[in-house]
Amino acid sequence: MSWLLLSGAILAEVVGTLSLRVAAGGRRAWYLPVIGAYVVAFAMLSGALAAGMPLGVAYGLWAAVGIVLTALASRMLFRESLTPMMLAGFGMIAVGVLLIELGGGGTVMVAAGCPSAG
């Protein structure tokens, strides 16, 4: 359940951030979806933590996956640049997430309630 909540938190945060891009471009009505999405994101992140996901894992994944998804969506929706260096950064983010998991001895996913871990 914690992974589902974290996934929802990440998606809500990405929606909020993309909406912020639109709102900052002069469409003030878009600030309402920004606020709503961020409230949902933090509520779901809180739920993931309450379900037993370690804070370091939850926040690290939330930030890392959010960065990648936001950059990819910004490329598609707003035609923002996506350079080779940014793509290399995505790879480094993936390696960092893997190192966090391996550093926890594989117990991170078990503690977070991932059914396939252990």
- Which residues, other chains included, contact 96 with Cβ-Cβ below 8 Å and sequence gap of 6+? 60, 64
Is position 117 within any domain? no
Q: Is 71 within the bounds of a domain?
A: yes
In angstroms, the CA 24 to CA 116 distance is 42
Distance CA 90, CA 9 (A): 20
Q: Is residue 95 part of a domain?
A: yes
Q: What does the H/E/C string look like for 21-68?
A: HHHHCCCHHHHHHHHHHHHHHHHHHHHHHHCCCCHHHHHHHHHHHHHH
11, part of any domain: yes
Tally of structural domains, the chain: 1
Whether the pTM exceeds 0.85: the reply is no
Amino acid at 73: A
Domain-located, residue 7: yes
Profile the chain (118 residues) by mean pLDDT over runs of 10 residues. Answer: 96 98 96 98 97 89 93 97 95 87 61 48
Q: Give a yes or no: residue 116 inside a domain.
A: no
Tell me the backbone φ, ψ of residue 49, rounded to 5 degrees: -65, -40
| Separation between Cα atoms, residue 84 and residue 81, nearest integer Å | 10
Answer for the pair 36, 18: CB distance below 8 angstroms, yes or no.
Answer: no
Which residues constitute the domain of residue 34? 2-111
> Does 89 reside within a domain?
yes
118 located within any domain: no
What pLDDT score does 112 carry? Answer: 47
The pLDDT value given to residue 105: 60
